[in-house]
Amino acid sequence: MIIKKFQASTEAEAIIKAKEELGSGAVVLNIKTIKHRGISRLFKKDVVEVTAAVEEMKNTGSIPTKSINVAVNDLYQSQSLYGGGIQNEKASAIEEKLNSLQSMLESRMKAAVYDDAGVKEERTEKNKPADEEESTNIKFIKLIYNQLIDNEVDEKYVNQIIGEIQSSIKRETSVDSILAAVYQKIILKIGQPKTIELNDGERKLVFFVGPTGVGKTTTIAKLASYYKLEQNARVALITCDTFRIAAVEQLRTYAGILDVPLQVIYTIEELNQAIEAYRDYDLVFVDTAGRSHKNSEQCDEVMHLINDCRTDENTGKEIYLVLSAATKYKDLIKISEVFCPMNNYNIIFTKLDETTCLGNILNMKLRTGVDVSYVTSGQVVPDDIGILDPQKVARSLLGSNE
């Protein structure tokens, strides 16, 4: 992993510098403003510092070293020793958050040293093992491993993360360096979110698909509101969700509030007519009917609408698979397998407010390889939506309550 810092007068300029040097695969780890102090502040402007990272183009291996494997294999036998959540105070800077997480992990690790009778073991210089630093690091790795498992990250991916930082873990490696390496690795694996971008001379036809009850209609309303009010885009709505009358009326209500056109369609011919009617609009959002992943025939109907609708050369087609973050991982796997024939789709996670574990975000990103775009955390339109923040997800997986 290559990690570098870039400074510029604005955040955008600093990110451009990072992309130019590290490439398009670079991921932003941290952004902060550096303020000059003393008399120099009268003559120098504040600068923005961006910390970015990129994976090195080499195979670091995905299997942990023997010592780490031992720690991982022993984990489930020591659940009571290292289990539990982690508390940390809210801080403004990511460095402070990492330091806080490190302190809490260390304190829990120290508090977890008990003898067989359940009495805290008094450790002296005499009985400290010669390899205590290495032992401490292994215990710390166990604690991080357990924290990720508690946040429902798939064991396969936890092993992968630990395995990929193995080469940087030495006897003298500090626990804060281990924590920072895991934190950065998670951010890199999540990657940069993919969002709907407006380009001159091009319109976007955006389909929203997914199972029933995940909040597709509300998500469309939030995005339509943002692009209409904040980006001044011409937005139109199409709904194929005629199986639920309430869904049509809900979208009709939002369309009326936003003053955007809405068409209800039943067949692909009507869909093509609506697309043609909205040829002068920047964004056309299509709300498809919620389909159970257990009914392949229904899912095929959605695929038919997406794949066989007519678009011209000036129309870009984008697909967003909407998933609930509160859904069990096994069910998310089945859902993604049903919808995987779609090409170049992205994922939106809804209902983050209904779960305390965000491991499924990392799980689905690594399993599908597609980009996670937006996340929602409530029913309020248009407020409860945002672009996925990889740093926030990483902190949450490592125990932050922010």
327 belongs to a structural domain = yes
Domain boundary among 190, 215, 248: 190
**Which 3-state string (H, E, C) describes 268-325?**
HHHHHHHHHHCCCCCEEEEECCCCCCCCHHHHHHHHHHHHHCCCCCCEEEEEEEEEEC
Q: Do 160 and 231 sit in the same domain of this protein? A: no
In this prediction, residue 401 carries a pLDDT of: 64
Contact assessment for residue 392 and residue 183, using Cβ atoms and an 8 Å cutoff:
no
E-strand stretches of 210-314:
235-239, 262-264, 283-287
Q: Tell whether 49 and 88 lie within a shared domain.
A: no
Asked if 234 and 341 sit in the same domain, the reply is yes
Query: Mean pLDDT of all residues in the chain?
Result: 78
> Which pLDDT score is estimated for 241?
73
Residue 195 lies in a domain: no
The reply to whether 368 falls in a domain is yes
- Number of domains into which the chain is organized: 3
Asked whether residue 240 is assigned to any structural domain, the reply reads yes
Coil vs helix vs strand at 34: strand
Low-confidence ranges of the chain (pLDDT < 50): 57-94, 112-126, 128, 130
CB 359 within 8 A of CB 321: no
Please name the residues in contact with 297: beta carbons below 8 A apart, sequence gap of 6 or more.
none
Element (H, E) at 203: strand 203-209
Do 212 and 330 lie in one domain? The reply is yes
- Which amino acid is it at 349? F
- What is the structure's pLDDT at 62? 36
Q: What pLDDT is attached to residue 278?
A: 94
291 and 258, same structural domain? yes
Q: Which two tokens stand for residue 363?
A: 């799980």
pLDDT at 227: 94
Residue 223 lies in a domain: yes
In a domain, 330, yes or no: yes
Q: What is d(CA 181, CA 8) in angstroms, rounded to the nearest whole number?
A: 25
Give CA angle at 352 (255, 98), nearest 5°.
130
What is the extent of the structural domain holding 362?
203-397
Cα separation, 346 vs 208, in Å, equals: 10
Per-residue confidence (pLDDT) for residue 100, from 0 to 100: 61
Are residues 70 and 164 part of one domain? yes
pLDDT tens digit sequence for 17-74: 888 888 877 777 777 888 766 555 555 678 888 887 776 544 433 333 344 444 434 4
Please tell me the predicted confidence (pLDDT) of residue 168.
Answer: 79
CATH number of the structural domain spanning residue 316: 3.40.50.300
pLDDT of res. 270: 93
110 shares its domain with 19: no
Q: Is residue 289 part of a domain?
A: yes
pLDDT at residue 372 in the model: 95
Same domain membership, residue 344 and residue 214: yes
- The closest of 164, 156, 152 to 188, measured between CA atoms, is 164
227 shares its domain with 357: yes
Residues 145 and 265 in one domain: no
